[in-house]
Copies of this chain bind each other. A is one copy, B any other.
Amino acid sequence: MKFSRSFAVTLLTATCLFAGSAQAQGTPSKGEQALKYRKALYQVMAWNFGPLGAMAQGKVPYDAAEFARRADRVAAIAPMLVEGFPAETKGLPHSELKPGMWANRADFDAKMKDLVDRSATLAAVAKSGDFAKSKAAFFDTANTCKACHDKYKTD
């Protein structure tokens, strides 16, 4: 193996620094790091969800391959989200999470699971290239976003 252990340490340090470069100055707490991770995940989610919505709403022509590619990404990101909500993020500023979530964690987690399940279905259906079914699966997924946002996300 040409890869040296000392390089590995250097790389990982660099990776951490890289991840931290978008963060506030100073060493972020574990909760602050998780909050940054969470925001990054939602950013990635939104980037890929947007084109699905545009196609589902007929704003841009349906492209089956593009739809399937974006759906796969949404389905890959969805299961990562819950890790962005550890207890250490409770009460942190610059969050759009309503504090009421913490007393309703089981419901929140159930809503997250709905998103994971529906987005997995969306990704599977999208592979069929059937627009009507893909569109329906998109709206099913979007409804799970809405259910959680309505209850737990500030405006």
Q: Please list the residues of chain A having a beta carbon within 8 angstroms of any beta carbon in chain B.
A: 1-3, 5, 7-9, 11-12, 14-16, 18-19, 21-22, 33, 36-37, 39-44, 46-50, 53-54, 56-57, 73, 76-77, 80, 96, 136, 139-140, 142-143, 145-146, 149, 153
- Are B139 and A3 in contact (CB-based, < 8 A)? yes
Q: A39-B22, A53-B8, A145-B15 are in contact. Are A1 and B44 (CB under 8 A)?
A: no
Give the most central of A43, A46, A53: most B CB within 10 Å: A43
Number of copies: 2
Q: A8-B57, A139-B8, A146-B7 are in contact. Are A16 and B50 (CB under 8 A)?
A: yes
Q: A16-B50, A73-B80, A76-B77 are in contact. List 4 more A-B contacts (CB 8 A).
A: A12-B49, A21-B96, A37-B43, A37-B47
